[in-house]
Structure 1
Amino acid sequence: MSTVRPLWRGRALALLGIVLVAFSLRSAVASLSPVIDHIARDFPMSPVVIGLIGAAPPVCFALFGIITPLFERRFGLERVAVVAIGLMSAGLLLRGLAVDSTSLLAATAVVFAGVGSGNVLLPPLVKKYFADRLGVMMTVYSTTMAISTFLPPLVAVPIADSLGWRVSLGVWGAFAAMALVPWVTMLLTGRTRTEPEPEPEPVDRPLVRESTAQDAVAVSTGPISTASANPRIFGRLWRLPLAWALAIVFAASSSMAYASFAWMPTMLVDIGGVTPATAGFLLSAFALVGLPCSMLVPILVVRFQATRPLFFFAVGAGLVGLAGLLFFPRIALALWVMIFGLTAIMFPLSLVLLSIRARTAESAVALSGFVQSIGYGVAALFPLVLGLLHETTGGWQVPLMVLAGGLIVACPAGWIAGRRQTIEDEWEQRHGRW
C-alpha cells in the first residue's frame, strides 16, 4: 500500500510539467478559429482549407493514439513527452509565421501531431508520478484542460486587434515551450524514477462493480490505457451492437465539438451580425459549458445510472440550440450558443461508458480503441463537410441542419448505450462464452 505524499514533495517538476502540458493540449485547438477573419486579410482562406484545419485534431488523435504507445515502449514516457511538447511548441510558433493557407495547414498538422501524442501520454504520466493522488491529479488535469479550452477564444481576438494575429497565435507556442523546461530538467537530472506503484488490481476484476465518484472523474479525463488492445477482443467488437452504439455516441460528441471549434466564430459573425471579438467570446462560452459537465456527468452515471437521461438531455439541448441559431440567430444569440454547448455532456458520458461497459481492463482497452478510432474518424469529416456545404450553398442553413441530423441519427445508439450490461454480457447472450 503506497504512502500518500503532498503533491509537490519530490515531484514539483512533474506537477508543473503536467499542468503546462494539459494547458497546451486544448489551447492549441481553441486558439485558431477566432482569428480566421484576421488571417484572411493577409491571404485567402477557403472554406475547404478551414475545414481541413478543423479536421486535423481528430485525425491526429486517431493516428498518434496508435503510434505513440509504440514509441513510448521503446524510448520511455518522458523522452516521448519531450518530443510531443517540442512538436506542439514548434507548430504553434510556425502557425504565427505562416505566409499562406498551405503553410498554415502544415503548421497545424505539426501542432496536432504533438497534441495527439500528448493526449495519450498525459494520463500515464499522471499515474506514474501521482499514483497515490490519482483522483486529485486527474481533477487538476481535467480542470486545466477545461480552462485552456475557453480561455484562448476569450483573448485571441483582442490580442489580434492590438498586436496582430501572428502574435495571437504564437503566444500559445510560448506556453507550450514552457512545458519543456520541467521535463527536460527531470531527464537531465535523473529525476524520472518514482517510488514503486501500488500493486495493480487483477485484470479480471469488473470495472463496473465498485466504482466511486472519484474514480469516475479520473476515468472521464483521458484514455483508459496506452496498452495494445487484445486483437481477439477487438475483432469481436465489430459484431456487437453495444460497441457500435458507444462508437456512434462518441462520434456525435466529437463531431459537435470539432465542427464548432472550426466554424462557430465565422458562422456567428455571418448569421448573428456580431464582431469577431464577440464571436470569440461566444466560442469561449460554448467551451465553458463543458467544465461543469466534465465534473458532474461521471458522478451521475456511476452513482445513479443516468446514461439515457443525460444523453437525451444533451441531444435535446443541442437541437434547441441549433434551432435557435437557424431560425432566430439575431435574438438571444449567446443563449443558443450555450444551450448548444450542453452537447458537451456526451463527451464525459462516452468516456465513463468505456470503463463501465467492460468487465476487465483488457476489454476496456480494446473497447476504447474501437470506439475512439471510429469516433474520431467520423469527427474528422464534419468540419470538412460543413465547409464544403457552406461554400456550395453560400449560407449556414444546410450545415446547421446537418449538425442537427447528426444528433438525431445518434439517438438509437444512445438508447442502446444505456443498457446496463457489458460487452461481455452481450457477447455471451448472442454467441455463447466470452
Structure 2
Amino acid sequence: MKLLLPLIALLLLGLNLRPVLALPGPLLASIQQDTALSSSAAGLLSMLPVMAMGLCALAGSYLQRWPGTFRGVLLGALIIAAACTLRGFWWQPAGLIATALLAGIGIALVQALLPGWIKQHYPQHSSRLMGLYTTAIMGGAALAAASAAPLAQAISWQNTLALWGLPALLAAVMWYRCGNMAVSEKTLAVAPPPPLNRRAWLLMVYFGIGTGAYTLVLAWLPPFFVQQSWSPQHSGYLLAGLTLTEVVAGLLVAALIPRFHDRRHLLIPVLGLVLGGLMCLMIAPSALALLAILLLGLGIGALFPLSLIVTLDHAVTPQQAGKLMGFVQGGGYMIASLMPLLAGVIRQVLGDLQQAFSVMALGVVVLLVMTLWLKPQAEK
C-alpha cells in the first residue's frame, strides 16, 4: 500500500504527456481560421514538442544527476502545466509554437527520468508497469481528442488548450507528495553507463520510425478526415476512438508480455496491423475509416510500449535503463518529429495527406525487416 501513491502519480504523469500533441488536430480548422496558421506551420505544433522530447531525452544520464529523478519529473510536470496555461493568453502563431516547444521540454524531462524510477522501485514488474505507463499516455491522448471540439464550442479553443494545465498541475502535486520515495541521486550517478553500440542505434531507429506513425496520426488524422467532409467533432471522435483502441492494445501488451520472451512474436503481427490501417487510409479512407481506426489503434497502441519494453530488456540496472532509454527515445523522437512536419508540407503542396500515409507505410515495411534482428539477449 505504501507504493500506491507513487503508482497513482505515475499514471497521472503519463496521462498528461500527449494532450499537447492531440489537441491541435481536432481544433486545426478553428486555429487556422483565427490565426492564419499555414499547414507547414501547423506541422511545427507537433514537430517541435517531439523534437524537444528527443533533445532532452539524449541528456537523460545528466538529468539523473541534476536535477535528479524526483526534481526533474516535478519540474517537467510544472513546465507542462505552465505551457498549457499560457496558451489561453498567448494563442497567436508565435505563442502556439513557443508553448509547443516549452511543453515538449517538460514532457521530455518526465519521459527521460521515469523509466529509471520504474526499474528502481519495481525491478520484477518493470515490463508490466511500462505497459501501464504507456497506456496512461495514450489514454490522455484519447481524452484530449474526444473532448477538444465539444469543449471548444463551449469555452473557445484557446481555453480548451489552456484547460489542460490543471491536470498537469494535479500530476505535479501528486508527484511532490511522493518526495520520500525519490531514489538516491548518488546511487544513480556512480553506476557505469552501458555502451551505445550498434544495437542501441538499431533500437533508436526502430523506435523513431514506429513513433513516426504515432505522431503522424495524432497530428493529422482529424484534419485528414475533415478534408474527407467529416465534421471536426466526428474527426476528433475518430482520433479518440483510435487512441482508446491504443489503450486496449497497451493493456493487452501489459498482460501478455511476460509470456513472450522473444518480443518478435508480438512485434511482427503488430506491424502488420499498422500497415493494414495505413493501406485503408490510402485506398478508401471514408469507406474503411472504422477498420483503419481499429487496425491503427491496435497496431500503434501495441508497438509503442513494445518498442520501449524491447529497449528496457537491454538494460540491467536502473541507471542503464535511464541511459539507454534516453538515447533511444532521444534520437527516436527526433526521427519521429520529422513525420508531422513532412505531412504538413505534403498537405500544403499537394493538398492531401494520402502521400504521407504512403511514406509511413514504407517505413513500416522497413520495421518488419529490422524486427528480424531483435533477437532476445540470450540468443545473441
Counterpart CA distance in 1 for 2:128 and 2:318 is 22
Choose the corresponding residue for 1:336, options 292, 295, 310: 292
Percent identical across equivalent pairs?
Answer: 27
- Could you tell me which of 357, 364, 369 is aligned with 1:400? 357
Q: 2:235 aligned with 1:279, yes or no? A: yes
CA distance in 2, matches of 1:54, 1:254: 12
Q: Residue 45 of structure 1 is aligned with which of 37, 41, 45?
A: 37
Is 1:150–1:284's contact at 8 Å kept on the other side of the alignment?
yes
Q: CA contact under 8 A between 2:59 and 2:326: conserved in structure 1? A: no
The structure-2 alpha-carbon separation of the partners of 1:126 and 1:255, relative to structure 1 and needing over 3 Å to count, comes to same
CA distance change for structure 1 residues 107 and 410 in 2, over 3 Å: closer, same or farther?
Answer: same
Alignment match, 1:323: 279
2:179 paired residue among 173, 188, 192: 192
**Matches of 2:263 and 2:153 in 1, distance apart?**
44
Distance verdict in 2 for CA 1:413–1:100, change over 3 Å: same
CA distance in 2: counterparts of 1:392 and 1:196, whole angstroms: 50
Q: Which amino acid aligns with 2:250?
A: S
Deviations 1:177-225 (A, max 9, x none): 23343455x4xxxx8335999xx9xxxxxxxxxxxxxxxxxxxxxxxx9
Query: 1:72: how far off?
Result: 4.8
Residue 73 of structure 1: aligned partner: 65
| 1:23-422 alignment runs, 5 A limit | 23-67=15-59, 69-124=61-116, 141-183=133-175, 186=177, 192-194=179-181, 230=193, 233-234=195-196, 237=197, 240=198, 242-271=199-228, 273-297=229-253, 300-305=256-261, 307-344=263-300, 345-357=302-314, 367-417=324-374, 419-421=375-377
Q: Which runs of 5+ in 2 are unaligned?
A: none
Q: Distance in 1 between matches of 2:315 and 2:124?
A: 25
Which of the pair has the greater relative contact order for Cα pairs under 8 Å at 6+ separation? 2
- Structure 1: runs of 5+ lacking an equivalent: 201-224, 427-434
How many aligned positions are there? 377
C-alpha contact 1:249 1:346 (8 A) present in aligned 2: no
- What secondary structure sits across from 2:58 in the alignment? helix
- CA 1:362/1:34 → structure 2, altered by over 3 Å: closer, same or farther? same
Q: CA deviation at 1:151?
A: 0.8
Shift of 1:246: 2.7
- Is this contact kept in 1: 2:61–2:323, CA < 8 A? no
TM-score if structure 1 supplies the norm length?
0.76
Moved more, 312-321 or 83-92: 312-321
C-alpha distance 246-144 of structure 1, shift in aligned 2 (>3 A): closer
**Secondary structure of the residue that 2:48 maps to in structure 1?**
helix
Query: RMSD value over aligned CA atoms?
Result: 3.3
Summarize deviations over 1:115-147 as a string: whole Å, max 9, x none: 111223334556777889978876764443332
Distance change >3 Å, CA 96–CA 361, structure 1 → 2: closer
Q: CA deviation at 1:310?
A: 2.4
Shift of 1:19: 4.1
- Is the contact between residue 281 and residue 354 of structure 2 (CA under 8 Å) also seen in structure 1? no
Q: 1:243 to 1:71 in 2, by over 3 A?
A: closer
SS at the partner of 2:35?
A: coil
Question: Structure 1 381/312 Cα, relative in aligned 2: closer, same or farther at 3 Å?
Answer: same
* CA displacement 1:25-49 (0-9 Å, x = unmatched): 2333322222111211211121211
| Structure 2 SS opposite 1:41 | helix
Give the Å deviation of 1:114. 0.9
Shift of the 159–353 alpha-carbon distance from structure 1 to 2, 3 Å rule, reads same
Shift, 1:305, TM fit: 3.8
Where is the helix percentage greater, Structure 1 or Structure 2? 2
Deviation (angstroms), 1:292: 2.7
Q: Which whole-Å CA distance do the structure 2 matches of 1:354 and 1:182 have between them? A: 28
Could you tell me which amino acid in structure 1 is paired with residue 371 of structure 2? G
Give the distance between the partners of 2:124 and 2:372, measured in 1 at CA: 37
When the two structures are superposed, what TM-score results if normalisation uses the length of structure 2?
0.86
Any conservation in 2 of the 1:246–1:413 contact (CA below 8 Å)? no
Given that 1:229 and 1:369 are in contact with CA atoms closer than 8 Å, whether structure 2 keeps it comes out as: no
Larger Rg: 1
CA distance in 2, matches of 1:243, 1:64: 17
Shift of 1:388: 1.1
Give the C-alpha shift of residue 332 in structure 1. Answer: 3.4
Contact kept, 8 Å, 2:148 with 2:160, in 1: the verdict is yes
Q: Secondary structure at the match of 2:217?
A: helix
Taking structure 1 as reference, are residues 267 and 110 closer, same or farther at Cα in structure 2, changes over 3 Å only?
A: same
Distance 1:136 1:6, change over 3 A: farther
1:336-370: CA deviations, max 9, x gaps? 12212233222222122123346676765554344
